[in-house]
Amino acid sequence: MDKSLRSVLEDSIRSIHNYPKEGIVFRDISTLLGHPRAFRRSVDELVHPFAGQRIDKVAGIEARGFILGGAVAHQLSSGFVPIRKKGKLPHDTVRIAYSLEYGIDEMEMHRDAIRPAEKVVLIDDLIATGGTAEAAVKLLQQIGADVVAACFVIDLPDLGGRKKIEALGVPVRTLIEFEGD
């Protein structure tokens, strides 16, 4: 990554210490989303590897993945698919359970949102332990999607999430890393 992009991203991501609990540094991209240059650069960088390729759908993980994913889908002239928490979608859904630090949750998407073999890029703001992203990839693969990549603005590499996604055969693209978080 070029130094100017790293500088723009670092300057626009707010770090909140001891949130949501003691010892955690929460990387908040709401400040990045509110900064026109940083938001534009982030979207451009997420789109760049796929420019000129046929990407049928961009799937975004609730909630910040909706914002980034919608912008990426627009730039790629692709459809957008929301991956939501259980009970939020009104039509026939497919669902997957996944583990969290404090228990189990479920996410779902509309069963007819993606046709088998469609090329899909998964988007979210951050990859940490990878549980949510891993579940989203498995959900997409379960319905036959060709998950071309999983893309995130932020990687917390010490938490190992990238390795979980790559173990599923999906390349991971991130824009910035924060070590030790």
Q: Which member of 41, 64, 84, 162 is catalytic? A: 64
CA-closest candidate to residue 121, choices 176, 166, 54: 54
Q: Is 66 left (phi over 0), alpha (psi -120 to 50) or beta?
A: alpha
For residue 173, count CB atoms less than 10 angstroms from its CB and return exposed for 0-12, middle for 13-18, buried for 19 or more.
Answer: middle
User: 92: which 2 tokens?
Assistant: 């026939």
- Catalytic-residue membership of 101: yes
Strand 79-85's sheet: what is its strand order? Answer: 93-100, 103-110, 79-85, 57-61, 119-127, 146-155, 172-177
- Known catalytic residues are 64, 101
